[in-house]
Structure 1
Amino acid sequence: MAPFHKAIELQPTSQNSGENERVYQGLIDPEWVVVKIPHGGYILALLVDAVINFQSTTPHKDPIHVTAHFLRPSAVGNFEIRVRVLKSGKGFTNLTAELFQKNTLKVTTHMIFAHNGPVPGDKANLTLQSPSAYARRVPLYLHPSTAPRAGGQERWNFQPHIEWTREPDIEAKNKPNHPNRTDRSSIGGEGVEWGSWFGFSDKEEKITSTSIAFLVDIFSNLPSLLPRSERKGLVNSWFPTVTLSIEFKAPIPPPSEYHASRTVGVYSNGKFMHHPQGRHDAYVEIWTAPTNIGEGEPLDGWRDKQVCLAISTQMALAIPFDEASKRADRETARL
């Protein structure tokens, strides 16, 4: 069992077959699971870290976009990640990274790497950020130093390594009597929302592109946020991710008086839930945080200093935990 930066350690193997391919191996840590099943964001972080390692000696060191398809549940135990270059150009490199356990493909990804920042010769230099009135601001209401801490999540075995806060103003938007609710005269609708300052409690951790791949999958989803009257038949469930995409928006600023080292802001919303298997959507934003949770104080202009680091979308299901547990046991038995 290990803190996050230790739980994602990988080693290249001797199976490498050229400069455009590489194989890594490691061990899925038993602490980074939800009950019995490895957390999907943690699994994706392993894949992203493998490609970051593979690209570390190239001009295209930074992840720009990741698309993942989770084909089968992973299990605690040994794994292998196979990385392969599909196309390398002047501005971008396209790669695949696939996670195998006992030669069974569990997760497949397509990634785009580049330099996440201004490019020499780019005359347009197009950005949309503060102080523009069209730029989106950090969507959390409270400062991390004053936000109330959230309660525990018993299903998360990795709970000792993380901490997070509540956003009462966002929670209020999900109530049945809030103006966001729709009726026959409504146009559109805001769905349900969730937000939190979310951080690693281990002092040696820091926010990285790898940890962002984990953090985009940390939120309360649509089925969990609905009132009981709207989720009839939903039993104690696991919400496995089927597809997930990430766009990395900006470089991670170094720690400073306006940017925390191991904390981010997480905002999510969901609008649709359908057949089969309670299929539902999630949109997630990851923002820099001005301080770590419970530390510092609000400095003047702290909101204007925050940057959106990544956005993510995913499709997930709702599966009863007894069924999910059986699946996890079958996958573990194969290893």
Structure 2
Amino acid sequence: MAQASADTAAPSEFDRDTAVIRRAPGVYDTHLSAGWTIFNAVNGGYLLALMGRALGDALPHPDPLTVTAHYLTASVPGPAVIRTERVRAGRTLSTGTASLVQRAEDGTETERLRVLATYGDLSALPDDVRTTAKPPALPPYEHCLGSDSAPGDAPALSGSTAIAGRLDLRLDPATVGWAVGAPSGRGEMRGWFGLADGRDPDPLSLLLTVDALPPTAFEMGLTGWVPTVELTVHIRHRPAPGPLRVAITTRNLAGGFLEEDAEVWDSADRLVAQSRQLARTVAGEGG
């Protein structure tokens, strides 16, 4: 399938909902779509992709290589402004910052998140690969479980959120014990990932992918909201067309905080993205 882009006449839902309009140099207007919410808050991966879109326009290089975001307050659907600043632009890399703010009815601005990112050109990277990393061992797509697979009165496997309708997500049955009240306790989440409208992955959509699966906290026996405090993503390759495989693990939950380490593999068996985030467990919030 040919990849849709923000420049086509009929953009995909992802491209439409991550569109930004340049108001002035480095300043962009945008609208946070209610279609990408989790427990009424806008998903952090979607926000990161939107920030990546603005930085991709503000910086001279095309692709995000490393992006770090600190989430300051929960974002809500509605208008927002992204302010970017070019920190440095070299021959092969450029670095910039971005801040997303939303304005209340009384005119007060609240900063939602702040990003520091370095961009480059993924197509210019050398082809050599030396790695001990291996793709996750997943059952075939048709043997994994989608958002319509939860039995009885169990919660939807996507977490009962609006974002579920935008994703083609099929989870490894070994990581969905939480949906039937029998979490494994292993802190693992794995699955096949794509966008529901069939848009092929690209470096920008990978920023969404790393934060789109249900939290590993569910499989550790916790429920409720798991808001991201900080998220760092490394984009390693431009992904091949087709579904992605995502594996997320948590090794340590302490003091109400946990880390999530994610790997994203493309249809050509290449590790295309890695991430680590620090998240907070908020028991009893979010329904």
TM-score class, shorter = 0.7 to 0.9
Cα deviation, residue 281, structure 1: 0.6
Cα deviation, residue 216, structure 1: 0.6
Contact 1:222 1:271 in 2 (8 A): no
Q: Which runs of 5+ in 2 are unaligned?
A: 1-11, 104-108, 150-155, 178-182
What SS does structure 1 have at the residue aligned with 2:171? coil
- Matched AA of 2:46: Y
Q: Which runs of 5+ in 1 are unaligned?
A: 17-21, 120-124, 177-190, 228-233, 290-304, 326-335
Question: For residues 88-99 of structure 1, what are the structure 2 equivalents within 5 Å?
Answer: 88-99=89-100
Quick check: 1:28 aligned with 2:25? no
- The superposition leaves residues 269-320 of structure 1 with CA deviations (integer Å, 9 ceiling, x where unpaired) of 0011111xx111100011113xxxxxxxxxxxxxxx3111100000001124
What SS does structure 1 have at the residue aligned with 2:141? coil
What SS does structure 1 have at the residue aligned with 2:34? coil
- The superposition leaves residues 42-83 of structure 1 with CA deviations (integer Å, 9 ceiling, x where unpaired) of 11111011112223xx3x211110010001111111100011
Contact 2:189 2:216 in 1 (8 A): no
Equivalent position of 2:118 in the other structure = 112
Tell me the number of residue pairs that the alignment of Structure 1 and Structure 2 aligns.
258
Cα deviation, residue 91, structure 1: 2.4
What SS does structure 2 have at the residue aligned with 1:48? helix
Contact 1:268 1:284 in 2 (8 A): yes
CA–CA distance in 1 between the matches of 2:274 and 2:233? 6
Equivalent position of 1:197 in the other structure = 192
Equivalent position of 2:264 in the other structure = 286
164, 168, 180: which one aligns with 1:163: 168
CA–CA distance in 1 between the matches of 2:174 and 2:193? 17
49, 52, 67: which one aligns with 1:48: 52
Contact 1:140 1:196 in 2 (8 A): no
Contact 1:128 1:135 in 2 (8 A): no
Question: For residues 100-249 of structure 1, what are the structure 2 equivalents within 5 Å?
Answer: 100-102=101-103, 103-118=109-124, 125=126, 127-129=128-130, 134-149=131-146, 151=149, 152=156, 153=158, 155-168=160-173, 175=184, 192-203=187-198, 205-227=199-221, 234=222, 236-249=223-236
- The superposition leaves residues 146-191 of structure 1 with CA deviations (integer Å, 9 ceiling, x where unpaired) of 544453335311222222223245669x847xxxxxxxxxxxxxx5
Change (3 A) 1:154 1:244: closer
Give the greater-gyration-radius structure (CA). 1
What SS does structure 1 have at the residue aligned with 2:229? strand
Contact 1:25 1:79 in 2 (8 A): yes
CA–CA distance in 2 between the matches of 1:4 and 1:126? 29
- Matched AA of 1:242: V
Change (3 A) 1:271 1:9: same
- Matched AA of 2:129: L
Cα deviation, residue 94, structure 1: 1.0
- The superposition leaves residues 246-275 of structure 1 with CA deviations (integer Å, 9 ceiling, x where unpaired) of 00111223x3xxxx1xx3111010011111
Quick check: 1:269 aligned with 2:279? no
CA–CA distance in 2 between the matches of 1:74 and 1:147? 31
Moved runs in structure 1, 4+ residues, more than 6 A? none
- Matched AA of 2:261: Y
Deviates most, 211-220 or 158-167: 158-167
TM-score (norm 2): 0.81
Contact 1:170 1:193 in 2 (8 A): yes
Q: Where is the strand percentage greater, Structure 1 or Structure 2?
A: 2
Cα deviation, residue 126, structure 1: 7.4
261, 281, 287: which one aligns with 1:318: 281
What SS does structure 2 have at the residue aligned with 1:237? coil
Change (3 A) 1:170 1:38: closer
Contact 2:249 2:262 in 1 (8 A): yes
Equivalent position of 1:82 in the other structure = 83
- Matched AA of 1:8: T
Contact 1:83 1:95 in 2 (8 A): yes
Identity of aligned residues (%): 21
